[in-house]
A and B are shown apart, each in its own frame.
Chain A
Amino acid sequence: MSLELKNVEKKVGQDTHIHRTDLSFQKNSINILLGSTLAGKTTLMQIMAGLDKPTNGEIWFDNKNVTGMTVQKRNVSMVYQQFINYPNFTVLDNIASPLKITGMNSDEIKKKVGEVSELLKLSGMLNKKPHELSGGQQQRTALARALVKDSGLILLDEPLANLDFKLREELREELPRLFENRECIVVYATTEPSDALLIGGNTATLMQGKIIQYGKTIDVYNKPSNLISAKVFSDPPINVSEIKKTGDTFSLLNDSVKWKSSNVKIKDGKYKVGIRPHNITTYREGSNSVEIKGKVLISELSGSESLIHFRNFNSNWVSLSNGTHQMNVGQEAKLYMNVDEFMYFDQSNKLVNHV
């Protein structure tokens, strides 16, 4: 079972909402669409579901061309951000609703509903109506309704976005478990890089209707194909600076920081370096670290981490250190960067070399 998008493009009037795309998802995979709002994630998911038709291109599901097929014919389930449930049905009826339409007999329905509600910890609430439940429970009901159908394709459009921080954490942890042992393809849209990293699977980074990179999540994170993919996949935002390489020495354009990196074999010239905030710390980390000095602008301590914003010459940097490191605003600080984790991009923003 596979889902393939061949040359899919979506135009509305003059605007291109989705640029020409080829994507291929295999069975039993969780695929994350990562990008900011308006990047095109929802449009793409609606095309995959059959709720929208692409201007050009084809959709193939299970080696069959389903491009013109209505969503009712395709075996698809969808979960939305806004906890969509039938307000007048109990939880039990909500979960059973897609099965009732198929004409399954009521014993079968009861059994399947029982299984899924057990999986989503809803067994004690089957007689309640959605408005009596908390946000997290309502979303679980929507998830249960999506899973009970045994669809080949399950689409989740930022399902955790409206939940409290802690509930989001809990449900996010449960998601991979819900989908294992199911022969289905899961597509999950989110704006949070941490969602992608914690769920795992494969990730596609999107920006303004273009798919920048697609691959295993941890690979896309560690080896972004270009600077845009790196930026999409960083929270807090990645620090970017212009640098030059002469001989075996790299330096920032203002020459305030110089380092050597013998593993990085690229030609002399001007480049851009991408440094994720957690690779700039108040302590030395890694086998190759270089010092950077700056004036502290903002200091945010959260107990587990310290975010120090500082200014070096004309640019602002962000550093993320583990633990509590108190720094006063205005103080001249010395921080250390882990050179081995630097990512180098050429002037066209392509990744040139990464150790």
Chain B
Amino acid sequence: MSKITLNDLSHSYLDKQNSDVDWALRNINIEWQDGGAYALLGPSGCGKTTLLNIISGLLTPTKGKVFFDGKDITSQTPVERNIAQIFQFPVIYDTMTVYENLAFPLKNRGMTDGEINSRVKEIAKMLELTKTLNNRASGLTADGKQKISLGRGLARSNVNVIMFDEPLTVIDPHLKWVLRSKLKELHQKINRTMIYVTHDQTEALTFADQVVVMHEGQVVQTGTPVELFEKPKHTFVGHFIGSPGMNIIPCKLDNGNAAIDGVKVSVSSQIKKSNFSKTEIGIRPEFVSFSEEGIPVKVLKVSNTGRHKIIDTECKSGKIKVLSLTSKDVPSGSAFLSFDKKYTYAYGDSWIIE
């Protein structure tokens, strides 16, 4: 188990870099404590898999260092770092049985047969694979195979970090949910440091204690799921997290007051600066409601998701989504919207103004 520190990491897949776009990762600085569940969340191409492979040692960074417990391990191989990695699709040894698959990493490290036997049985019980131990690994379903991959990672008791690279990609949707909860349960039981890479916010937010949101090779914001949801520091985070994402509406700043379509909007923190080229208000649909007065909008469409209603409205400055309970009535035609001040933020050049 280790505290992980990433120091000024940058990486490029090209030999020469002429501009920012040539870098897959730029100036990553992160510190992760022992035993936590962390997630790297971001769209395809943001650099999260690159970062994961640098931490596991499968890739050497162009610049920067990686520390485990204060020790510089940047040049160490994955075996030396004692990590485990689970990939997007199940990686199993087809010709071996489930038992042999789980025993493989232990055999390679010279454990005795007796030790291997008890450890494999322990892991199989944790992952509910005991009944299939003697079956050929290639005969299991996709989620069974992923469990084997996971088991191989867990089998070594001195593993520092377990990394997951979008592990639920090939799993059936109804099994995805089960496996996801199982990973969370597993973390709660064994308390090992786990890093989970995904583009799916549900997976990231339900699994991790701390989420690192990445965009175009950089870290945009780090925080607990609740922090990221309730107070996004960048409009990208606001938009990316939440389904539907945060409403970002252009606004005008005037003497510390914000206004949309001429209507004053109260924001949660004081607006002291005002020299921005782009100013916007961010408010999540969950915190928008219909009221007697406020921003005038036209109601465009009502969608029922079973759990709540998503209402698409439009004001002069842009579109605003509202999330409300299924039982509540929705006005038709024209209406007014009001924002919950506590969760309304002003953004200057995409960064929060506070």
A→B interface (CB under 8 Å): 36-37, 134-135, 164-167, 169, 191-194, 197-198, 200, 218, 221-222, 235-237, 276, 278, 297-298, 300-304, 307, 309, 320, 322, 324, 329
Contacts and interface: CB of A to CB of B under 8 A. Distances in A.
B225 A36 contact: no
A134 B199 CA distance: 15
B43 A164 contact: yes
B206 A302 contact: yes
A192 B202 CA distance: 14
Contacts of B184: 298, 300
B229 A300 contact: no
A289 B244 CA distance: 29
A50 B241 CA distance: 41
Interface residues of B, number: 38
13 contacts: A164-B199, A165-B199, A165-B202, A191-B173, A218-B306, A221-B306, A235-B174, A235-B177, A236-B177, A297-B185, A302-B201, A303-B225, A304-B286
Nearest to B223: A303
A297 B185 CA distance: 8
B243 A169 contact: yes
B305 A198 contact: yes
A169 B244 contact: yes
B177 A166 contact: no
B307 A278 contact: yes
Contacts of A165: 199-202, 243
A215 to B, nearest CB: 15
B58 interface: no
A198 B303 contact: yes
B68 interface: no
Given A166-B245, A303-B228, A307-B206, A298 B173 contact: no
Nearest to A233: B306
Nearest to A279: B307
Contacts of A194: 305
Interface string B231-259: 00000000111111100000000000000
A166 B240 contact: yes
B181 interface: yes
Interface of B: 43-45, 172-174, 177, 181, 184-185, 188, 199-202, 205-207, 225-226, 228-230, 239-245, 284, 286, 303-307, 310
Given A166-B199, A300-B184, 15 more contacts: A165-B243, A167-B43, A191-B172, A192-B173, A197-B306, A198-B303, A198-B310, A235-B177, A237-B177, A297-B185, A302-B225, A303-B205, A303-B225, A303-B228, A324-B226
A181 to B, nearest CB: 15
Contacts of B226: 301, 303, 324
A194 B202 CA distance: 13
Contacts of B185: 297-298
The 6 closest A-B pairs by CB, nearest first: A303-B229, A302-B205, A300-B206, A303-B225, A191-B173, A164-B199
A329 B181 CA distance: 13
Given A300-B184, A300-B206, A200 B201 contact: no
Determine which residue in B45, B172, B242, B306 has the highest number of CB atoms from chain A within 10 A of its CB, and name it: B306
B78 to A, nearest CB: 27
Given A237-B177, A309-B181, A303 B245 contact: no
B228 A164 contact: no
Contacts of B181: 298, 300, 307, 309
Contacts of B241: 303
B201 A197 contact: no
Contacts of A36: 172-174
Contacts of B199: 164-166
A40 to B, nearest CB: 14
Contacts of A222: 306
B49 to A, nearest CB: 13
A300 B225 CA distance: 10
Contacts of A135: 44
Given A297-B185, A300-B206, A197 B304 contact: yes
Nearest to B189: A329
Nearest to B42: A164
A25 B239 CA distance: 37
A169 B229 CA distance: 18
